[in-house]
Structure 1
Amino acid sequence: MMSKEALFTRVEDLEQELIELSAFLHANPELGNEEFQAVNRITHILERNGFVVERGLAGLDTAFRASYTVGLGGPVIGMLCEYDALKDLGHGCGHNLQSPSVVGAALALSRLEDLPPCTIEVIGTPAEETTSGKIPMAQQGCFDHLDIALMMHGGDRTTVDGRSLAVDNFEFVFEGKASHAAVAPEKGVSALDGVLMTFNGMEYLREHVRSDVRIHGIITDGGIAANIVPERAAAMFSIRAINRPYLDTVVERALNVARGAALATGTKVHIHPKKSLESKLNVQALNDVLLENAKLVGAKNVTPPREKTGSTDFSIVTHRVPGACIRVAFVPQGTPNHTKEWVEASNSKEGNEAIITAAKTLGATCIDVLSSATLLDAIKMQFKEEKELQENLVLQ
């Protein structure tokens, strides 16, 4: 019978190596799809410990899978990690904590003498902050063979993910006609007017949608000089809602806002869809096991799931296989991510403690799943029921 105490001891034996990995990632922040140093460091550690590494998954240079197989058959457990940083900020989302946590759990499991037939996979998913490597990876079936998928994320409390928001991102590029803004304004058509009218229209739209909807945008191009009528202007918008069917209706109305703004200002608008993510599909049985193990290992500030939430590309995975993410406290509650506070805390004593807590939590959850076919069956049944519910969801 696998022992969680033995697993915890092996995680503790790895503590210095895991902290050094985190410190390296923190000191060498890399943007999405450019995480070459991070991937080299992570995969070399796994290879040295008997994992078989596949690089370049789904045509992404910094996506990988590292597998450790015992016996024939058995469950396949995937543990996903991100390692990209934020532009001009660094690891303000704590991604330098994820890989060490997952590597620690995977290595500790591989060193258990009585590990039953199974496959443990560490799956590296690049560019979470930008293009979302999980999108093409999911499209090419990189997760479909898993029995469960697990993740870790730093947080201002220890909890599991509840709902997340489905999201569609768009770029609106308006085309007008340049002219001298003082000498011949009547000969110009302002693309910026199209952008500004779009923002005004989005404000009116916000009044007549459900309270879970979020619409937010920025101007990315407003022209080149105040005395030139802008012939080009552009904006980026994110549109979110709790479920996809309702989001689709809001998106169509939002696109009509931009089309109407172009009509009203005499401009042309080019609509470019960007990233699109689903709402997360939750499996409570898997969430419960994660949170119980977090409590078992003494995680700090354990709370119910957050009431307010954003969007995550992990949601794509959770629509294909049962998935869950444990968020581990390492900053004071209420501290927002994507901030300097997170950058500093992710290379601190608290950040290092979160790595060990997460590695133990993930490893112990794997032990529970591998030890109980009944638990795994319950997780799969709940996943099937939840997926059918989401697929048959009606507007309300």
Structure 2
Amino acid sequence: EPLVHQWFVELLRRFNLTFDLFDEERCIAIEEGDPETNPFLDSQLVLAPLDFLAEDEARAAQAREAGWDVLVVDEAHHLEWTPEESGANYEVVRTLAAQTEGLLLLTATPQQLGPEGHFARLQLLDPGRYRDLRQYREETRQYEEVAELVDTLENGGEASDRLGALTKGRPRLLKAAADFLLEKEGARERLVQDLLDGCGIGRVMFRNTRSRLGGFPERLPLLAPLKGDDEMAAKVTWLAALLEKKLPAEEKVLVIAKTRELAEQIIESLRDATGSVAALFHEDLTLIQRDRNAAYFADEDGARVLVCSEIGSEGRNFQFARHLVLFDLPDNVDLLEQRIGRLDRIGQRGTINIHVPYLKGTAEETRVRWIHEGLDAFRSSP
């Protein structure tokens, strides 16, 4: 499990915390010394693959019985749930969370499985508040209206005619609206906060967003329209020019492509076209080789370029780099957020430059414009 080992390294290196890695082999080794013991009682700091527990109910039961203060689930967008059936991984988290005081779900793409998936994760966090999917959907229908109203108020606009429906039957909102209409000092700000807290799941969906929390690096989309009939040749030529003529030699560059095959093509072509030292990173490399290549890229005197496949780069952090090249575009916009998230992390000190090469007059140009001009997804994040 590469992600488990990545967590081990990061926790040790950044916080000097030594976690124990648990799998079936470790559990058996502990039980050999005492067959009656619960192996999960052997350590207070545990890292374990979720699949390991999901595939063995006996081990999952032992994990529940051990008792924990905090449960952290990374890549939580993979927890599958529908009104008819819960995925095995989701059920493991649900039953563990029910007996654990703290639960932290980590994901860069909470909407990847749609509104149902997002509701399911909210239900894990607060089962008392999020009990019914139908009720949740009814509450969330007013998001757009609330968002437009809050945006109007925060920009100094008037919204008196739209306040009635939202404040009806809500004494606190009625008072806040009345103060606003009477132009009392600070009333506009109080009304905005009360609207966010009082409508639907405002505090969850609006308060705790990237734009409100602040302190995150800026993103700078750099679109690169190209001419030519050979997409691969055009993009490699552009990338070579970026490395040799436009960027300082000390700048590290992360290149991400959809597949391992394309990543291998890119690095071979790049080595032929430039003198830049490049490393490869994809899911078919051994864990040791991936760690070595990542370390080589991180080293000041190491590789200037790291070429990654989509799956191979998941969960890896390269916040020391400031340049990201999207050699192609993922099929899902949520995956785009994951790609950018390789650089857009705590510890990133500079502006993230997002380079997007594409051939003019192609379907890819349409997708680039839709993502950039329609969704503003290169620049902004939830």
Higher percent of residues as helix: 2
Between structures 1 and 2, the one with greater strand share: 1
Instruction: Report the structure number with the largest CA radius of gyration.
Output: 2
Query: Which TM class, normalised by the smaller chain length?
Result: under 0.3
State the structure with bigger RCO (CA 8 A, min sep 6), 1 or 2: 1
